[in-house]
Structures are given as C-alpha cells and as structure tokens.
Amino acid sequence: MSSDKQPQGMATEGVPQGPEIKDKAQGKVCIVTGGDSGIGRSVAAMFARESAKCVAIVYLDKEQKVVSKHGRIDVLVNNAAVQHTVPSVTETETARLENTFQTNILSMFYLAKYAVPHMPRGSAIVNSTSVVAYYGSGSLLEYGSTKGAIVGFTRSLASQLAPKGIRVNAVAPGPIVTPLNPATREQKNLEGWYAKLPPLGRLGQDSSYMSGQVLHPNGGTVING
C-alpha cells in the first residue's frame, strides 16, 4: 500500500494544498524583550526554530541597531518585567515603584513609539500581561498594577494601529515555570504560593496549561474582558 494514500472519505481533489507548516517566521525580523530567561527565552527560541531572520533579545538602546541592520521590524514582543512582593501599600518605596512601572509598562510605550514607524502592514505586537491583572494579588500590588495597565495599553494601541494593518494582542499567563517567581519570593512565601495553585493543580508549561479559555480571533470586532 502506498504510504501517501489518503484515508477513505477524505476528499482532497481540487483542494489547494498549502505549504508545510514550518518556518512560519522565515525572514521575519523579531524583537523580544526580557529574552534572557523564562517565557521570553522560550519565545526567542521558538522564533529561531521557525527560521526568523533576526531574534533580538533587547533593551531599549539596542532597537535602533536592529532597524539599521535589517530595515524593518515584523514582530515586537514586549515581555520584560520585574516583580517584587509588597506586603502592604504602606511599604511602597518610590525607587522600586518607579522601576517596576518603567520596566513593565512605560518601556512598552517607548518600544512601540520607536518600533511602529518601522513596522510594515501585517506586522504584530504582543504584550505580556498576567492573570494577576484580572484577579489581583495582595502581595504583588505594584506588579499587578502594571499588568492591569498593560491590558488597557494593548486594547487602545490595537484600536490605534488597526488602520495601519498592525495587530496588537496580549497574553495573560498564570503561574508559569520560570526563574522569576522563586527569585522574587522568600521560601516560606513560595511554599504558600505553591499551595494555592490553579484548578489544574500545577504550574504551566506550554499549551497543556490552557483550559477553560475563550480566544477571540475576530479581527478586533470584540475586545474581550
């Protein structure tokens, strides 16, 4: 029996056969911030596997070098973030608060400001927010506030850039296996955090952590909550 024989009942005659689903980022110039570890590192590795022309793991001062070398930016992934536990609002420290907002949300404004002029129609921006933006966290007051701001930023920027053909979306992951969480929590607090895992009972890895979600690939018609 020929190995390429189609299963019975599957009509393929006359149906256009597309290219193999691989190298989806071939030739694309991609910028990923916060790509030195965790989610950002995985995203950068994924782009590399999909044959991206450039995967730049950057801070703000590196973006112009990417544009100068490649002439455009096809994908901007705003992922860089810092996280600090703050038991009480009375313990807010100005320097730490400003650094958290500068890193987590203000950097996205500046990256978009300087990237958009070099982004062709069909390009995309992806912002990393957090499930904390939706349910809140008493111990992550500063971090959670920035993640909520990212949701509003994403929706407004998506509306603004739609006429240019630039898509803007965000991802709001729950607890994921990354170095960020254990690095920003004391051991006793980390154990308590693990005890309050989501209904699946574990930390997230890849798409096997997706459950009960409704995605809306609708061209921006409905901007969901």
DSSP 53: S
Does the pTM exceed 0.85? no
Q: What is the pLDDT along the chain (225 residues), one digit of tens a residue?
A: 444 444 444 344 444 444 455 666 667 888 899 877 677 888 888 887 776 777 767 655 566 677 777 788 999 999 999 999 898 999 999 999 999 999 999 999 999 999 999 999 999 999 999 888 988 888 899 999 999 999 999 999 999 999 999 999 998 887 665 555 555 555 555 445 544 555 555 555 555 556 556 666 566 665 666
Domains, the chain, in order of start with CATH, read: 29-206 (3.40.50.720)
Q: Which of 59, 110, 114, 143 is catalytic?
A: 143
User: Which residues, 6 or more positions from 176, have their beta carbon under 8 angstroms from its beta carbon?
Assistant: 38, 39, 203, 204, 205, 209
Distance CA 160, CA 221 (A): 14
pLDDT at 46: 81
DSSP string for 121-185: TT-EEEEE--THHHH--TT-HHHHHHHHHHHHHHHHHHHHHGGGT-EEEEE---SBSSSHHHHTS
Q: DSSP 3-state assignment of 119?
A: coil
Q: What is the CB-side half-sphere exposure of residue 17 using CA atoms within 13 A? A: 5
- Reply yes or no on whether 134 is catalytic: no
**Number of other residues whose CB lies within 10 A of the CB of residue 176:** 17
pLDDT at 192: 53
